[in-house]
Amino acid sequence: MMADWTAGWSRQGPEQGDGVLVLSGNDLLTPETGWLHRWETIRSQLTADSEPVYVGSMAGQSVYVTELPDDHRLDAVERMSTREVVLTAEDAPAAMISTALQVHQWWRDHRYCGRCGQPTGFHPAERARWCDHCGIPWYARLAPCVIVVIRRGEQFLLARSSRTRRHFFSLIAGFVEPGESAEQAVAREVMEETGLQVTNVRYRGSQPWPFPHQLMLGYFADYVAGDLVLQEDELAEAGWYVPGDLPPVPPETTIAGRLIRRMEREISGKEAGR
């Protein structure tokens, strides 16, 4: 099903038979089967703030996203955390859900022009909200964020965030600041959060992350010097680990999980230098 997903844009509203991903707060409201409601089954539940927005097509079906209040009257639905779905649901169409979450967040946050405060509407030709008064578009935001595996000989660094209740050990990550490259952001974030110096920063892949609108840029880097001194408001604990002897880590549906497994293979000689 993932291969059938195509992101897109249209000003046209939903019609009978179209699919709608329904949100309520930070949760998904899913039907008894599948992930999408049919438009004709939910249209009577919409409120003034529930404008459905087109996000693409899946298996030939147009897909929209909308939000319903907590007191909705949909029957036979399951309420699921959007974060848990993206992190752990192996059968979830993650690319579709990720796109829908980001489009919905942008559409809701830019209902008014950030310059003059007037209501915005559809851009005539592209995915943007348009302010007639200022004559400027407001595009969906993307925040570049780096995430890095730090290698020291046959070991690599894993850390547990102080901001989450999950007992995952993951990687050092942070937002790219104005005026710096992604590689500079890697070195800065590592120093700020761990007190370590790194070199040989090399790109390994990316993933959109819809909480709320990051583009995660994945890197490997090599340890140079320094002792672990953790930034306590970011990290609860951290340590050096060897392949085959890891604490709980994110699943491979996430870029963190994929980078960790790839470093394991590289250190073990199964993916050397690639």
One domain, residues 97 and 37: yes
133 within a domain of the structure (yes/no) = no
One domain, residues 185 and 82: no
Cβ contact 160:235 at 8 Å:
yes
The pLDDT confidence band at residue 86, using thresholds 50, 70 and 90, is: confident
Cβ contact 148:173 at 8 Å:
yes
Q: Please give the C-alpha separations between residue 58 and each of 7, 41, 63, 93, 209, in angstroms, as whole numbers.
A: 9, 19, 7, 9, 20
CATH assignment at residue 228: 3.90.79.10
One domain, residues 61 and 105: yes
One domain, residues 151 and 87: no
Q: Residue 272: is its pLDDT beyond 80?
A: no
One domain, residues 86 and 188: no
Instruction: Write down the pTM of the prediction.
Output: 0.89
Mean pLDDT confidence for 79-103: 87
One domain, residues 8 and 93: yes
H-helix segments, 9-163: 39-42, 82-88, 94-109
43 within a domain of the structure (yes/no) = yes
The predicted structure's pLDDT at residue 119: 96
The predicted structure's pLDDT at residue 165: 74
Mean pLDDT confidence for 47-72: 90
One domain, residues 149 and 260: yes
One domain, residues 75 and 169: no
53 within a domain of the structure (yes/no) = yes
One domain, residues 246 and 152: yes
Tally the domains of the chain: 2
CATH assignment at residue 105: 3.90.79
Q: Compute, in degrees rounded to 10, the torsion defined by CA atoms 120, 123, 129, 133.
A: -40
The predicted structure's pLDDT at residue 255: 95
135 within a domain of the structure (yes/no) = no
Q: Residue 274: is its pLDDT beyond 50?
A: no
The pLDDT confidence band at residue 3, using thresholds 50, 70 and 90, is: low
The pLDDT confidence band at residue 77, using thresholds 50, 70 and 90, is: confident
Note down the domain range covering 96. 2-109
Spatial distance between the Cα atoms of 127 and 122, rounded to a whole number of angstroms: 8
Q: Which two tokens stand for residue 8?
A: 């897109």
The pLDDT confidence band at residue 1, using thresholds 50, 70 and 90, is: very low
Mean pLDDT confidence for 43-60: 90
The pLDDT confidence band at residue 88, using thresholds 50, 70 and 90, is: confident
129 within a domain of the structure (yes/no) = no
One domain, residues 248 and 169: yes
Q: Which residues contact 16 (CB under 8 A, 6 or more apart)?
A: 38, 39, 40
Q: What is the per-residue pLDDT across 159-213, written as a single tens digit (0 to 9) for each?
A: 999 987 778 999 999 999 999 999 999 999 999 999 999 999 999 999 999 998 9
The pLDDT confidence band at residue 15, using thresholds 50, 70 and 90, is: very high
29 within a domain of the structure (yes/no) = yes
Mean pLDDT confidence for 102-128: 94
One domain, residues 150 and 252: yes
Residue with more model confidence, 92 or 234 = 234
Mean pLDDT of the chain: 92
One domain, residues 192 and 239: yes
In this structure, are strands 37-38 and 19-24 parallel, antiparallel, or unpaired? antiparallel
Q: What is the per-residue pLDDT across 93-110, written as a single tens digit (0 to 9) for each?
A: 888 999 999 999 999 999
Cβ contact 79:28 at 8 Å:
yes
Residue with more model confidence, 9 or 164 = 9
11 within a domain of the structure (yes/no) = yes
273 within a domain of the structure (yes/no) = no
